[in-house]
Structure 1
Amino acid sequence: EPTTECWETATFNNTTCVWDVTGTQALEPTTECWETATFNNTTCSWIVTGTQDPIPTGLECWETANFDTPTCSWIVTGTPTTYYLDSDGDGFGDINNTIQDCSTPIGYTDNSNDCDDANNAVNPDAIEILCNGIDENCNGMADDFDTIIPICNTQDITVMLDTFGNATISANQIDNGSSDNCGIDTISVTPSNFNTSHIGDNSVSLTVTDNNGNSTNCNATVTIEENTLRNPEFDNTEVRIYPNPFNNQITIQLSSHYNNTDFQINILDLNGRIVFNKIVTSSNNKIVIGNLDKLEEAPYFIKVTNTENGESIMRKLLKFD
């Protein structure tokens, strides 16, 4: 009888006078990647051995472990969500102060667009306040572009021509408190030069330009008066004006025949602008002008005119503080 495997059977065939061996080994079982099949001749069966690696432990809340058969290993996947500290509670976080988690921790947000996390008035939803040097709306500009034009205010003035028939004004004389939300850069007035052809009322334009180039204009009236130095003069020797220099008060000493006479008193600056204008009646041959401390320290001209006959004198004075 032939030697056979455990799954084979030998039977003698009297017809052929030989042993017939029959039987087939059981097919190797299908195994997992971690298993090994070994045929056991004693039990005449396949023995499958091997154990799958345990699922990884210590996973983060955002991680998932899946077994990968081709590599016969666990693959851990998952991406954490980054949250940003929101110290000021305005809903916008600090990109430089982060934490990773599966849900929003208290005091954090998923928005990283705050540019000052210590000030809840500064965030991308805030309204920009112009001209304060702060980027309230986090757009990278300390102050958004200013499109607001200045507020232009003027005042009308009266100016007397000088002895040569000319007068010059400045923008500051016309300006009457013009303002701008971001500050005024320049103010100018046109025209600024006048002569005898301009005697009377003249319209001038004040231009106010702010620090961002926005500008506006407004008008004022400049009244040009003729220089009356050519008016008849009373004798200079009859008039004495003191003290000179003066501070708060001046006295005009007149001759006796000018008692109880009305005089037009004009004080002018060097630009011909009238800074004091008053009709005063002489008393005891004198005129006393007070409350002059508001005048700036500077040279001035004083013109004293007799309102009855137009006679006048002009003297130069010096104001001191």
Structure 2
Amino acid sequence: MHQEFSTGTEIDAERLAGLRVLAGLLPLHRQKKILNDQAGTHTSRLRGRGIDFSEVREYQPGDDIRSMDWRVTARTGDAHIKVFREERERPVLICCDLRASMNFATRRALKRVVAADIAALFAWSAMSHGDRVGGLVFNDTHEFDLRPHTGRKTLMAYLHQLASTPVSQPAEAAPRMLDICRHIARIARPGTAVYIISDWSGFDDECERVLYPLSRHCDLLAVHVSDPFERDLPAGHFDVTDGNQRRSLHVSDKSRQEHQQHWRQAVADLQTRLMRLRAPLTFITTENDPLDQLRQGFGLGGGGRR
């Protein structure tokens, strides 16, 4: 079955639902080790899923001494360890940025449309693996969150919210991004895989500080959505519009070089902050197929579709 990603300016709930057929081409559970290697971290086999206490039993040769239950050991005089088991369903929280800064593109689809497609694909992939799917959708003034649950009902509600969240008036990027980081840190329980899909406008040192405790007990993964015009501003005269008004923009060679330098520095700063958070970063541009970019960024190889 052939399924195309969205183009244009509108987020279509029916198209988001149709991305279910591509879920098998983005096996999120397989990219975990590769992304951890990219982030320069060593992650235990239990990180990324919640763990439940199962029982206390006598120590056996080969058991991890770090699991020793010293209270029971002291009481009985025999070595005992705590046994834990992984939750069958990993909680997954997919956070999608639909602020005014995402309402931009010069190629194929608006950044917000691409971000919504990626969020939907993540949701379908997680559900197909038996994980509990939840999400956060935010614009410049409001946020809507659904706590992770199994089944289609929560996922479909999330897709509906992606399609129905309105474009809001621009607000100050830094305070709004900080508010969202605080919200994520508040609702993500230990063991959650947290995907943040954004242009990361306003992500600063304070945002990093807020997410730092979260990064110690969750798998945090970052997707950066941009348009080619943002990273490589061409020189010349251009007409730009927000859908209501039209303006003429003149870009000199000097301003183009300054913009490119600023862009490179901003990306380098973001990479540094996310590296400290042990959060792998995948870059997505509006001009190319999101699935191929995600597979390459996640270390799964390109060519997801033929």
Q: Give TM-score, length-normalised by structure 1.
A: 0.21
Q: TM-score scaled to structure 2, two decimals? A: 0.22
Q: Normalized per residue, which structure has more helix?
A: 2
Q: Which has the higher strand share?
A: 1
Q: Say which one has the larger Rg.
A: 1
